[in-house]
């Protein structure tokens, strides 16, 4: 029989430190986003969701829902197997083709999530390039950290967005004769800042490094067609692009895009791709419709940026601290104390019908706890005023 004491101690320690994660039980109302229903411990109430990663509300869009209904009626619910054994439908093939076109790459590969895509692509790169050394930005996502760790490859952590430090480490690897791979993100999801993409690619060219970028918080949101920060800054040299279908595109899943031979080799060795049931064709149909729609509707991206800029301005006008580095759609309101951050989140939900999840360690360092606000094109001026008024009362 298992001893429960260490498990109980772990949970209690997290609660004492204000780091215990509570999953709020909510139901999104179709056609009413960002309004939701919260099933609390004592009552059920209507709330406004200010922390969803459905950044453009595409998870509620008629084009996406209609496409998914059609696929469901045509194919049934699941894929029926792994990609190798019965689980590659026409919807999978069409979606991978569309993703490759979106990123101006030769090929793309679907995974069940962007986390899985990051982890198993990096593990696979070590199998394919035995002398690879990963140079990882210090603020990279947990999925990138996990993939590098599980690959067994040597790694070097370079200071966040510090090009001088990155070049120093690249010089060291050049002297050793290894194959460096720079792993970084375009938009960092907690601080809301952007990496110096063009300058990183210049260094990669100079030192013959592979480049791997996570565009999870940028695809669908930046660039004229929504291809991400690479499209926005006009950069085409990144070797492997990681993206998600679960944020701006409003559905679920992840992918990589790159050279046809590179993708084919990764497809052939990535266990996290090979040995798992593929995504439902219904999900693929929704993602395909969402990508195509957002390619043609840049006005949604413009409205999204306008909402984020307006909210930041409103918060600063009343001296609520927004992280200075936040130059994207992400609005980090700093609290800097784990217990207080959870208390503030609870007060917003219980007293003001506003849902913002507290962000604590290990997602952010101790002392950098925050409320991470994600305005969408569907958040109205009235909702923004209500939010600012509530924050003034609880902060």
Q: Which of 105, 232, 247, 342 is catalytic?
A: 247
CB-facing half-sphere around the CA of 192: CA atoms within 13 A = 23
Q: Is 139 a catalytic residue?
A: no
Report how far apart, in Å, the C-alpha atoms of 176 and of each of 144, 169, 204 are: 24, 11, 16
Q: Where are the alpha helices (DSSP H) in the chain?
A: 5-16, 62-75, 90-102, 114-128, 142-151, 163-176, 197-206, 229-233, 260-269, 271-274, 281-296, 298-317, 338-352, 381-394
What is the distance of C-alpha 75 from the center of its chain?
Answer: 29
CB-facing half-sphere around the CA of 80: CA atoms within 13 A = 10
184, 195 Cβ separation under 8 angstroms: yes
Q: What tokens appear for 329 in the block?
A: 């759609």
Report how far apart, in Å, the C-alpha atoms of 26 and of each of 155, 162, 269, 331 are: 40, 40, 39, 22
DSSP string, 113-157: -HHHHHHHHHHHHHHHSTTEEEEEETT--HHHHHHHHHHT-EEEE
CB-facing half-sphere around the CA of 178: CA atoms within 13 A = 20
Please identify every residue annotated as catalytic: 247
């Amino acid at each position: 029989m298992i001893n429960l004491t260490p498990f109980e101690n772990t949970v209690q320690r997290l609660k004492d430190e204000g780091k215990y994660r509570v999953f709020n039980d909510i139901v999104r109302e179709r056609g009413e986003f960002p309004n939701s229903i919260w099933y609390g411990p004592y009552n059920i109430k209507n709330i406004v969701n200010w922390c969803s990663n459905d950044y453009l509300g595409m998870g509620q869009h008629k084009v996406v829902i209609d496409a998914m209904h059609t696929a469901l009626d045509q194919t049934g619910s699941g894929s029926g197997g792994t990609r190798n054994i019965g689980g590659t439908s026409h919807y999978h093939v069409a979606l991978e083709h569309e993703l490759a076109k979106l990123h101006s790459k030769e090929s793309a590969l679907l995974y069940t999530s962007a986390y899985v895509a990051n982890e198993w692509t990096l593990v696979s790169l070590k199998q394919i390039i035995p002398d690879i050394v990963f140079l990882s930005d210090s603020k990279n996502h947990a999925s990138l950290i996990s993939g590098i760790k599980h690959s067994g490859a040597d790694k070097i952590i370079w200071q966040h967005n510090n090009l001088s430090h990155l070049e120093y480490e690249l010089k060291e690897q050049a002297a050793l004769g290894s194959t460096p791979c720079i792993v970084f993100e375009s938009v960092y999801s907690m601080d809301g800042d952007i990496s110096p993409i063009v300058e990183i690619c210049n260094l990669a060219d100079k030192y013959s490094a592979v480049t791997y970028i996570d565009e999870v918080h940028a695809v669908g949101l930046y660039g004229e067609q929504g291809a991400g920060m690479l499209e926005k800054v006009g950069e085409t040299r990144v070797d492997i692009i990681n993206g998600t279908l679960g944020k701006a595109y409003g559905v679920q899943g992840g992918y990589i895009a790159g050279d046809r031979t590179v993708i084919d080799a990764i497809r052939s060795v990535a266990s996290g791709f090979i040995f798992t049931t593929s995504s439902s064709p219904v999900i693929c149909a929704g993602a395909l419709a969402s990508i195509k729609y957002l390619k043609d509707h840049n006005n949604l991206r413009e409205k999204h940026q306008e909402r984020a800029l307006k909210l930041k301005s409103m918060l600063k006008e009343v001296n609520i601290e927004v992280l200075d580095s936040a130059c994207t759609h992400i609005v980090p309101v700093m609290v800097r104390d784990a217990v207080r951050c959870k208390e503030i989140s609870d007060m917003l939900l219980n007293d003001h019908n506003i849902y913002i999840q507290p962000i604590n360690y290990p997602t952010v360092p101790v002392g950098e706890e925050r409320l991470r606000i994600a305005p969408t094109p569907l958040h109205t001026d009235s909702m923004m005023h209500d939010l600012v008024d509530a924050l003034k009362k609880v902060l």
